[in-house]
Amino acid sequence: MIHIGAITNNQPVRMAVLCQLITQGNGIAIAGMHVGKGLGLDISGAADYIKNFSASNGRKFKAAYTFPNANQDFWIRYWLAAGGVDPDQDIDLLTVPSAETVQGMRNGTMDAFSTGDPWPYRIVADGIGFIAALTQQIWPFHPEEYLAIRADWVEQNPRATRATLMAVMEAQQWCDDPANREELARILSGRAYLNVPVEILTPPFQGKYELGDGKPAVQDFNAGPLYWEDGRGSVSYPYKSHDLWFLTESLRWGFHARFLTDLDTARRLVDEVNREDLWREAAQALGVKNIPNNTSRGTERFFDGVVFDPQDPQAYLNSLKIKRV
């Protein structure tokens, strides 16, 4: 959206997406007052409870994400809509920083939030609430954060761009090694980064999640954040099919409607911004062996049975019951 000026005051800044940094590592946390109300991965049985929350509480069910029209916003919207709750009409859905959301859950003014580790796990560890679902359960091995750099800088500095990509790839490989996860947690726990206790960070990095609310604990390294390889192949490679899903989902909710009008526009934007060719060059220079041979990861399946086929994103849009288009 920076590329077309949608979030930069109508001033386009050409961007180059160079690699994906991580898959998974997010969750939907729920305040403790909702224990026993059926808020899990599938909330279809709790939809009426959420919709009618204001009748007995004087306010709508309130949920938050960390940044508008971005990943955490998409995850909670998908989760709510899959259960029959319209995120734009049935609840109050807000942009709130993670730390403030935790405080809101403490004082009873916030009901749910979508964000990355370690914040959902901290809700459980601090006894404030529980985790309704890990985003890995919503969409296994889903794309998460990316590295993007201004396209003019990339074009003017090809050697520096390649060196940066190679350094990131080496870091991803180090982070993905289970033997390094404790040290990774220790580094990130410091004041210069997340400034949270190392014992809060370590379990998610090891794929160990206590969900709370009677839900079985998750004990699977592949359920946590992954940096280099996952159950579908490469994590680092920036699949164009994933870019297309994010833009298709943006169309679903009417995000940036002035700039993003149809799927043809979405495909054009993907081709303009995605520089998977530079990733391949850097990977070859680094001696990477698992280089994808296709810009599409193929069909993606969500927990509710909905399928996204990048060859036919319109069919995905048509299959969704709650949407703005």
Q: What is residue 134's DSSP assignment?
A: E
- Which residues have a Cβ under 8 Å from the Cβ of 52 and sit 6 or more positions away? none
**Candidate from 99-103, 200-204, 242-246 with smallest mean pLDDT:** 99-103
How much is the mean pLDDT over the chain? 95
Q: What is the 3-state secondary structure (H, E, C) of 202-261?
A: HHHHCCEECCECCECCEECHHHCCECCEECCEECCCCCHHHHHHHHHHHHHHCCCCCCCC
Report how far apart, in Å, the C-alpha atoms of 103 and of each of 109, 117, 125, 126 are. Answer: 9, 16, 14, 11
Residue 127 reports pLDDT greater than 80? yes
Residue 51 reports pLDDT greater than 90? yes
φ, ψ of residue 168 to 5 degrees: the values are -65, -45
301 has which bridge partners? 307
pLDDT at site 244: 98
- 250-308: pLDDT as tens digits: 999 999 888 889 999 999 999 999 999 999 999 999 999 989 999 999 999 999 999 99
Residue 152 reports pLDDT greater than 80? yes
Residue 3 reports pLDDT greater than 80? no
DSSP 145-174: -EEEEEHHHHHH-HHHHHHHHHHHHHHHHH
Q: How confident is the model at residue 6 (pLDDT cuts 50, 70, 90)?
A: confident
pLDDT at site 11: 86
Q: How confident is the model at residue 325 (pLDDT cuts 50, 70, 90)?
A: confident
Greater pLDDT, 86 or 4: 86
pLDDT at site 4: 78
pLDDT at site 16: 97
Structural domain spans, the chain: 26-138, 239-259+295-325
The CATH code for residues 26-138 is: 3.40.190.10
φ, ψ of residue 105 to 5 degrees: the values are -70, -35
Residue 99 reports pLDDT greater than 90? no
Spatial CA neighbour of 264 closest among 197, 313, 191, 301: 313
Greater pLDDT, 13 or 315: 315
Q: Could you give the CA distance from residue 207 to residue 204 in angstroms, rounded to a whole number?
A: 5
